[in-house]
A and B are shown apart, each in its own frame.
Chain A
Amino acid sequence: MRHIISVLMENEPGALSRVVGLFSQRNYNIESLTVAPTDDATLSRLTVTTIGNDRVVEQITKQLNKLVDVVKVVDLSEGEHIEREVMMIKLKASGQMRAEIKRTCDIFRGQIIDVTPTTYTVQLVGASDKLDAFISALGSASIMEVVRSGVCGVARGEKVLSL
């Protein structure tokens, strides 16, 4: 199963490499990874999506917790949560294609954020499967470049991951 694991850790040099190193060292898989400082500049928040059975994911959270730089770990997929990913996608767009793309883009609530006579760059925000759906709706022919941020997520309701 796919899991979204959120990690609160010291914003220190080397901290990220410990997390990434742990995944490769222990043969865990990383689907996506995002990391940035939080409102408290001494802390970073890292979100990693991974695929594994319950036992593997339990080991992953335990091993992450063991890292000395890591303050807290939560497996968001264990409860209700919201996930979002940002995608910027550059498309060949000329002639009648332009209207077609615009329509698809509207259906998915994407925004065109850059325009040239022959290209559109579209920004789309949503859960990863929505981004996947947009890509398949476009068909590969017109796609020039895809940039995805990786997933970040937050628990629903009152639950928070903080000190």
Chain B
Amino acid sequence: MVVRALRDEGVKYIYGYPGGSLLHVYDALFQQEDVQHVLVRHEQAATHMADAYARATGKAGVALVTSGPGATNAVTGIATAFTDSIPMVVITGQVMSHLIGEDAFQETDMLGISRPVVKHNFSVQRPEDIPSIVKKAFHIAESGRPGPVVIDLPKDMTTPTERYPYEYPKQVKMRSYTPITRGHSGQIKKATDLLLNAKRPVIYTGGGVILGHASDQLTELSRLLNFPVTNTLMGLGGFPGTDRQFIGMLGMHGSYEANMAMHHADLILAVGARFDDRVTNATDKFCPTAKIVHIDIDPASISKTVQADIPIVGPAKVVLDEMIQLVKGSKKQPDAEALKAWWQQIDEWRQRHGGRYRTDDSELMKPQQVIEMLSKVTNGDAFVTSDVGQHQMFAAQYYKFNKPNRWINSGGLGTMGFGLPAAMGVKMNFPDDDVVCVTGEGSIQMNIQELSTCSQYDLPVKILCLNNQSLGMVRQWQDMNYESRHSQSYMNSLPDFVKLVESYGHVGMKIEKYADLEGAMREAFAMKDRLVFMDVAVDPFEHVYPMQVPRGAMRDMWLSKTERT
């Protein structure tokens, strides 16, 4: 019934790992071909694969893991999806229902363990409920503010010799769950009036634009108004990265111009962004002169950390569409005079830092150069997944994302080990696209066993390892706040990655000189059907800049090792 329900939901791939409590389900999987199972090497990877599929498509990914250790191994992946609001359905095996509570073999209270990191969870108590629970799980995961849903499945709910009536529901109705479908027109009107009167506006958008498939609307509205646009780490690709109106990412490692523009704005239109502490810096100093319009599908995101002047609860796509109509129909036009002055100011800020970095202080390549080359070699068109650390920030800053759903990283939880399985989840579903995992020598080792899964399923992803021989992000903080006491941030005994990947049957490259970089990268991407691991030696002493000064305002930043605003 489980497999049938997944098939009827239209699921093509599920990612998982078998175990005692799931043997009936795995036997059912064996006897059909509609739902294909991908065997990972660690359950965490299964959840990241499902998660990345969801990030690339907007549809819920599915993972299947056994009870006890299988389920607990999946928890990091579930939490990763939860903090970034990613739709996912995770089916966890459970011991026989009569054994629950008896400390049975491989029993864990998965409902309890997962509760704080799921949108919802279900425990199956009657086999005949399986179709409706599966349907509800997908509905909840994908609608409203998306999120992961866990279905805990006791083994005796799947006994193959017992038969039950099966009907997969076409629709679900839940009196206690009714996601909002449109915004309040009065509020939208008020907000639009503010937009048309703004002199120093900024449009600040986040993951909600990606999740809500609203980047066309965002782009149209921004162009109509000629306002500058900044994206959060999760919002990159929501607005074309090479567009003149794009002023870069904002926040802790945001661009100088984006953070300055935010600080001096008189109006901020926030769309599907949650005023995260990595964005706002100290909230009491945040954007002192700005009125804030906040569009979000989740009322709890509004006025949580920063008070909104005009809250609009609703899906970004629908609300922005309504704004576009209002702007088009309005007699009043944006204040061209004021905007001209504002753009002049922004362009001045752009000049001041403009994403520069030094290349003359080290023999080794700079990580920024490597990402810029990647952007060039792939025409800004690849799916880029990332791990967590400096390399992640460099990828966010220097890869120009022109399309949504192509930048796939763990922002809210910052899960090292996410990148490789994420790239695999994307590649499996987009076999003709370039998929590259930007990683560090630290992060890649957190799920490196998945190189084996890549061999089994022919997943020719590209891995670009910015090898700085250290936990660079940690080391940067130690440089800046702990007088360079590099406590445990040095990676000793690194493997020879080339030999390592070769032993799994893949191609490895060691790249040490900038002169070799472009050629090597092109060669790697030309090998369409091979996994290629590019181990790139980069300057271990490089820092990510700009970097906001702790407890300061948006505009308070370090611009390099020696310059402060």
By a beta-carbon cutoff of 8 Å, the part of chain A in contact with chain B is 9-10, 13-14, 17-18, 21, 25, 55, 58-59, 62-63, 65-66, 68-71, 163
Question: Looking across the interface, which residue of chain A has its beta carbon closest to that of B302?
Answer: A62
Kindly state the separation between the CA atoms of A92 and B121 in the bound complex, as whole angstroms.
Answer: 49
- Neighbour of A68 across the interface among B116, B120, B123, B304, CB < 8 A: B120
Q: Is the CB of B116 within 8 A of A66?
A: no
Contacts of A10 on B, CB cut-off 8 Å?
176
The answer, yes or no, to whether B299 is at the interface (CB within 8 Å) is: yes
Contact of B115 among A21, A55, A58, A63 (CB under 8 A): A21
Which 7 A-B residue pairs are closest in the complex by CB-CB distance?
Answer: A62-B300, A68-B120, A71-B176, A25-B116, A68-B177, A62-B299, A21-B115
Report which of B116, B175, B298 forms a contact with A21, defined as CB distance below 8 A. B116
Contact A71 B298 (CB under 8 A): no
Which among B111, B119, B176 has the greatest number of chain A C-beta atoms within 10 A? B176
Residue in A closest to B122 when the chains form the complex, CB atoms: A14
Determine whether B329 belongs to the interface, using a CB cutoff of 8 Å to chain A.
no
In the complex, 23 of the A-B residue pairs with CB atoms within 8 angstroms, ordered by the A residue number, are A13-B123, A14-B111, A14-B121, A17-B112, A17-B115, A18-B115, A25-B116, A55-B303, A58-B303, A59-B300, A59-B304, A62-B299, A62-B300, A63-B300, A65-B299, A65-B300, A66-B298, A68-B119, A68-B120, A68-B174, A68-B176, A70-B176, A71-B175
Q: Quote the shortest CB–CB distance from A116 to chain B (angstroms).
A: 39
**Residues from chain B with Cβ under 8 Å of A21 in the complex:** 115-116
Residue ID in chain A nearest B300 by CB atoms: A62
Per the bound structure, the CA–CA distance linking A71 and B304 in Å amounts to 22
Shortest CB-to-CB span from A50 to chain B, Å, is: 16
B140 is an interface residue with CB less than 8 A from chain A: yes
Tally of chain B residues near chain A (CB < 8 A): 18
Q: How far is the CB of A27 from chain B (nearest CB, A)?
A: 12
Chain B residues at the A interface, C-beta cutoff of 8 Å: 111-112, 115-116, 119-121, 123, 140, 174-177, 298-300, 303-304
Tell me the bound Cα distance from A25 to B114 in angstroms.
12
Other-chain residue from A17, A58, A163 in contact with B175 (beta carbon distance below 8 A) = A163
Q: In the complex, what residues of B have CB within 8 A of residue A68's CB?
A: 119-120, 140, 174, 176-177
Report the Cα distance A62→B115, complex, angstroms. 18
Question: How far in angstroms is the closest Cβ of chain A from B98?
Answer: 16
B132 to chain A, nearest CB (A): 14
Which residues on the A side are within 8 Å of B140 (C-beta)?
68
Set A14, A70, A163: member contacting B123, Cβ < 8 A: A14
CB distance from B536 to the nearest CB of A (A): 41
Closest chain A CB from B123 CB (angstroms): 7
Distance in angstroms between the alpha carbons of A8 and B115 in the assembled complex: 20
A161 CB to closest chain B CB (Å) equals: 14
Report the separation of the CA atoms of residues A13 and B123 in the bound assembly, to the nearest whole angstrom.
9
A163–B121 Cα distance when bound, in Å, is 23
By a CB distance below 8 angstroms, the chain B residues around A66 are 298, 300
Q: In the complex, which residues of chain A have a beta carbon less than 8 angstroms from the beta carbon of B304?
A: 59
Report B280 CB to chain A, min CB distance, Å: 15
CA distance A103 to B115 in the complex (A): 51
Are A9 and B116 within 8 A (Cβ)?
Answer: no
List, in ascending order, chain B residues with CB within 8 A of A14's CB.
111, 121, 123
Q: Which residue of A lies closest to B144 (CB)?
A: A66
Other A-B contacts than A9-B176, A25-B116, 6 sampled, CB-CB below 8 A, are A18-B115, A55-B303, A65-B300, A68-B119, A68-B174, A71-B175
A63 to B303, CA, bound (A): 13
CA distance A118 to B494 in the complex (A): 77
Q: How far is the CA of A142 from the CA of B503 in the complex (A)?
A: 79
Instruction: Specify which chain B residues have a CB less than 8 angstroms from the CB of A69 in the assembled complex.
Output: 176
CA distance A163 to B140 in the complex (A): 20
Residue of B nearest to A21 (CB): B115
For the complex formed, measure the closest distance between the CB of A11 and the CB atoms of chain B, giving whole angstroms: 11
Q: How far is the CA of A59 from the CA of B304 in the complex (A)?
A: 7
A17, chain B: closest CB distance, angstroms = 7
Select from chain B the residue with minimum beta-carbon distance to A66.
B300
Q: Chain A residue with minimal CB distance to B140?
A: A68
| Cα–Cα distance between A55 and B303 once the two chains are bound (Å) | 8
Q: Which residues does chain B contribute within 8 Å of A55, judged by CB atoms?
A: 303
In the assembled complex, the Cα of A71 lies from the Cα of B176 at a distance in Å of 4
Determine the residue in chain A with the shortest Cβ distance to B298: A66
Query: Shortest Cβ distance from B88 into chain A, in angstroms?
Result: 15
In the assembled complex, which residues on chain A have CB atoms less than 8 Å from the CB atom of B303? 55, 58
Chain B residues within 8 Å of A59, by CB: 300, 304
CB distance from A98 to the nearest CB of B (A): 47
Report chain A residues within 8 Å CB of B112. 17
Complex Cα distance, B300 from A59, in Å, reads 6
- Distance between B322 CB and nearest chain A CB, rounded to angstroms: 23
A9 to B177, CA, bound (A): 11
Expressed in whole angstroms, the minimum distance between the Cβ of A38 and any Cβ of chain B is 14
